[in-house]
Amino acid sequence: MASKTADIGKLEELMTLGGYNGLADLEIVDRSFVRKREPYVEAIAAIWSPTTGIVETESFVRALFQHAIRNGVATLLNTRLQTGTAEKAFVVINTERETFGARVIINAAGLFADEVSKLLGGDKISIWPIRGNYAELAPSARYLVQGLVYPLPDPTGHGLGVHATRTTRGNVTLGPTACVQKSKHDYESDRRSTMPQNHIYPASRWNNFDRVLVEYVPGGALPIKNFQTFVLIVTPKYRAYSMQLALIRLA
């Protein structure tokens, strides 16, 4: 969505990118269209994507896993990769449990994908850990968001920005912020302090989520009582950036 006229050109750029990715049903809509679907959201224009949906990611991944098992996929859970050797026709993988060969290796190691790539002689990449914080609107404030509300992507290219999402369970989340961490194992530093210098997005302190919501909802900032705890999972991001999502409390 665009909050000012100068941003409409950026919406058009996103429309073009969407077309390149096979999304033929995107449409730029005006303020009245937005208000009909999101009565409390303020935007002079937005991109309407009628085929966008909401997925409960944990259930989706569990369903994929069960589908794979039913189709004969073998799994080695909680098994550490030790070494790998590239042969002519396949790669020999040595784990702490057994050794096997594979013609294709999919590196889905998240925060540690760079280390796995190096171990297997793959591309030289670097993962920079970025922690993202999420907040959840209290039940009394959920009426403010009916679906998915995204601002324009962060100009740094580090993420989609702090957006509002109504989940399959009916709750509404805000996030993520983005904070560069010194270590892939660092989930805690700067979480409860004043604004640190390494925050990419301006709304990274707990009491700043209400300021972010002002971009979506007119009428002033929400009191902090409208936010509550949201439990998060660790999710990496591509292109040398990874996202560590931390547990936060806004109450």
Say what the pTM is.
0.72
Rg (CA), the chain: 21
pLDDT per position as a tens digit, 73-102? 999 999 999 988 888 788 899 999 999 998
pLDDT per position as a tens digit, 108-161? 888 899 899 888 888 888 888 877 778 888 888 888 889 999 888 877 666 777
Q: Which helix (H) or strand (E) covers residue 209, if one does?
A: helix 209-214
pLDDT at residue 3 in the model:
85
- Buried b / exposed e over 7-41, threshold 16 CB at 10 Å, is beeebeebeeeeeeeeeeebeebeeeebeeebebb
Give the residues across from 130 on adjacent strands. Answer: 180, 243
Longest CA–CA separation in the chain, Å: 65
When pLDDT is cut at 50, 70 and 90, the band that residue 217 belongs to is low
- Whether the pLDDT of residue 72 is over 70: the answer is yes
Q: What value does the mean pLDDT take over residues 240-247?
A: 33
Copy the structure tokens of residue 113: 């994908």
CA gap 18, 241 in Å, rounded:
22
* Residue pair 244/129 in contact by the 8 Å Cβ criterion: yes
Q: Which helix (H) or strand (E) covers residue 85, if one does?
A: strand 81-86
CA distances from 99 to 12, 85, 91 (A): 51, 11, 10
In degrees rounded to 5, what are phi and psi of residue 206? -55, -45
Q: Which helix (H) or strand (E) covers residue 180, if one does?
A: strand 179-180
